[in-house]
């Protein structure tokens, strides 16, 4: 029965709705789907809205020596029609000492070794990245091309609505082609639009009457990056969160007992696409953060032929031991080291005991499958989604020392 629900809901989210970045009509449809399911299971609903842009790419082209090459236009990149000579830099010192005005800056090496955090992501900053962005803003190139170290590239290294330059990201091979014609103009064409919109965190509550009530938070983000159906990231996590909500409610109703802790379900709307949206939950919850006894985040679980994992952050040895004992009947979910690249890090920073579920090799899948069109319904394992949901329901139902 539960496997059927998982397959149906995950299919709806990743196939019928598909790509759902914050602000998009697809994100709004996802909100409705999640809220309706929680409401059906007797959770009270709060739709915490926030403003964000809805950006769409209409077309993009990159030409070198009059020949077209594959390139990924950066999310939030403005439209452009630029034809200019390239100028090259691979280190911060080279960037400082290179004239960029009137040129297309082609950045490689340490300048393109990792993705850039957007300016509105205040939770975590990297000083080197901030300096590079400042140099680019001061030197004002016509446009920017990041050259990755990958043979194929499907992702953008920067997604920042406050960065006003046209940006593309290319593979290492395309970067070599540009370098092979340093005296030939590079042509960049991006057609995009950005309109004011909104998204929302969906908060479902069971057994909570006021901010004074203690609670366990179970969360997952439902949004995706642009250009991916987001089955693993994070359709599986969203589905497991909702199934866990139903199982927990059913356990309490079956035993006719009042929840020892209230349950707060949080479907985050911006983890992959609009970071301030997720952070806004913590402003909303400021009055009861000290009442959160445990936070459980689910992000990127249940890939075929991969184990799922559980990580413990800010948990006592007693709590960790009890949870691992509870999970003995789920051998496909194994303990892993703490990791921080998702919404659970907000809770852990506040010293709230936190659990994080993901798949064992998620880092190896990022930007090769996850965050790409290949993150599809077909690579997921619904039975594993059920196991994660049941494990979470068992944790909540067990006499854990939270």
The values of phi and psi at residue 99, to 5°, are -80, 125
Q: What is the mean pLDDT of residues 321-327?
A: 95
pLDDT at residue 12 tops 80: yes
CATH 3.40.630.10 maps onto the chain at: 2-55+196-397
Q: What are the residues whose beta carbons fall under 8 Å from the beta carbon of 398, sequence distance 6 or more?
A: 322, 323, 326
Segment 250-280, tens digit of pLDDT: 987 777 666 678 999 999 999 998 888 888 9
Segment 60-70, tens digit of pLDDT: 999 998 899 99
Question: So what's the pLDDT on residue 260?
Answer: 76
pLDDT band at 303 (very low <50, low <70, confident <90, very high): very high
User: For the chain, what is the mean pLDDT?
Assistant: 94
Question: So what's the pLDDT on residue 345?
Answer: 95
Segment 184-241, tens digit of pLDDT: 999 999 999 999 999 999 999 999 999 999 999 999 999 999 999 999 999 999 999 9
pLDDT at residue 100 tops 80: yes
Fold type of domain 2-55+196-397: Aminopeptidase (3.40.630)
Question: So what's the pLDDT on residue 399?
Answer: 61
Q: In whole angstroms, give the CA distance from residue 303 to residue 273.
A: 22
Question: So what's the pLDDT on residue 291?
Answer: 97
Q: What is the mean pLDDT of residues 336-340?
A: 95
How distant is the alpha carbon of residue 345 from its chain centre? 13
Of 150-159, 255-264, 353-362, which range is least confident? 255-264
Q: What is the mean pLDDT of residues 343-359?
A: 97
In angstroms, the Cα distances linking 233 to 127, 160, 383 are 28, 20, 17
Q: Establish whether the linkage from the previous residue to 234 is cis, with ω within 30° of 0.
A: yes
pLDDT band at 125 (very low <50, low <70, confident <90, very high): confident
Q: In whole angstroms, give the CA distance from residue 173 to residue 259.
A: 58
Question: So what's the pLDDT on residue 256?
Answer: 64
Question: So what's the pLDDT on residue 361?
Answer: 84
Segment 49-58, tens digit of pLDDT: 999 999 999 9
Cα angle 217, 116, 347 (rounded to 5 degrees) comes to 15
Assess contact for 301 and 237: CB atoms under 8 A.
Answer: yes
Q: What is the mean pLDDT of residues 340-356?
A: 96
pLDDT at residue 300 tops 80: yes
Question: So what's the pLDDT on residue 400?
Answer: 58
Of 63-77, 147-161, 346-360, which range is least confident? 147-161
**CATH number for region 66-183:** 3.50.30.30
CATH 3.50.30.30 maps onto the chain at: 66-183
pLDDT at residue 402 tops 80: no
Segment 22-31, tens digit of pLDDT: 999 999 999 9
pLDDT band at 366 (very low <50, low <70, confident <90, very high): confident
Question: So what's the pLDDT on residue 276?
Answer: 87
Assess contact for 145 and 89: CB atoms under 8 A.
Answer: no
Q: What is the mean pLDDT of residues 143-170?
A: 91
Nearest-CA neighbor of 15 among 383, 373, 385? Answer: 373
| Burial class of 151 by CB neighbour count within 10 A (0 to 12, 13 to 18, 19+) | exposed
pLDDT at residue 153 tops 90: no
pLDDT band at 397 (very low <50, low <70, confident <90, very high): confident
Q: What is the mean pLDDT of residues 157-175?
A: 95
Q: What are the residues whose beta carbons fall under 8 Å from the beta carbon of 305, sequence distance 6 or more?
A: none
Question: So what's the pLDDT on residue 313?
Answer: 98
pLDDT band at 43 (very low <50, low <70, confident <90, very high): very high
């Amino acid at each position: 029965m539960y496997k059927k629900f998982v397959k149906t809901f995950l299919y709806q989210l990743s196939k019928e709705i598909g790509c759902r970045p914050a602000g998009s009509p697809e994100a709004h449809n996802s909100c409705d789907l999640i809220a309706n399911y929680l409401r059906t299971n007797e959770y009270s609903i709060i739709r915490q809205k926030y403003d964000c842009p809805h950006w769409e790419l209409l077309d993009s082209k990159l030409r070198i020596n009059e020949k077209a090459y594959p390139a990924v236009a950066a999310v939030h990149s403005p439209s452009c029609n630029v034809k200019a000579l390239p100028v090259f830099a691979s280190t911060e010192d080279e960037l400082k000492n290179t004239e960029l005005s009137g040129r297309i800056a082609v950045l490689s090496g340490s300048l393109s070794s990792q993705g850039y955090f957007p300016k509105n992501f205040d939770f975590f900053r990297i000083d080197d990245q901030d300096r590079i962005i400042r140099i680019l803003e001061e030197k004002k190139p016509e446009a920017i091309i990041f050259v990755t170290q990958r043979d194929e590239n499907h992702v953008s290294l920067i997604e920042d609505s406050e960065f006003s330059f046209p940006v593309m990201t290319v593979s290492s091979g395309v970067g070599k082609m540009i370098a092979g014609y340093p005296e030939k103009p590079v042509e960049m064409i991006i057609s995009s639009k950005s309109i004011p919109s909104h998204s929302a965190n969906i908060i479902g509550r069971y057994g909570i009457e006021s901010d004074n009530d203690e609670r366990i938070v179970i969360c997952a983000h439902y949004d995706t990056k642009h250009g991916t159906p987001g089955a693993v990231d994070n359709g599986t996590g969203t589905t497991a969160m909702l199934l866990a909500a139903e199982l927990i409610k059913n356990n309490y109703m079956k035993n006719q007992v009042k929840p020892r802790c209230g349950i707060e379900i949080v479907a985050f709307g911006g983890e992959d696409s609009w970071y301030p949206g997720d952070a806004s939950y913590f402003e909303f919850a400021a009055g009861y953060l000290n009442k959160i006894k445990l936070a459980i985040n689910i992000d990127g679980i249940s890939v075929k032929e991969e184990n799922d994992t559980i990580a413990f952050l800010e948990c006592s040895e007693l709590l960790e031991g009890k949870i691992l004992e509870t999970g003995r009947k789920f051998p496909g979910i194994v303990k892993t080291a703490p990791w921080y690249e998702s919404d659970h890090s907000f809770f852990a920073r506040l010293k709230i005991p936190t659990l994080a579920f993901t798949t064992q090799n998620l880092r190896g899948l990022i930007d090769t499958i996850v965050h790409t069109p290949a993150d599809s319904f077909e690579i997921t394992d619904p039975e594993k989604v059920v196991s994660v949901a049941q494990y979470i329901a068992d944790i909540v139902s067990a006499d854990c020392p939270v």
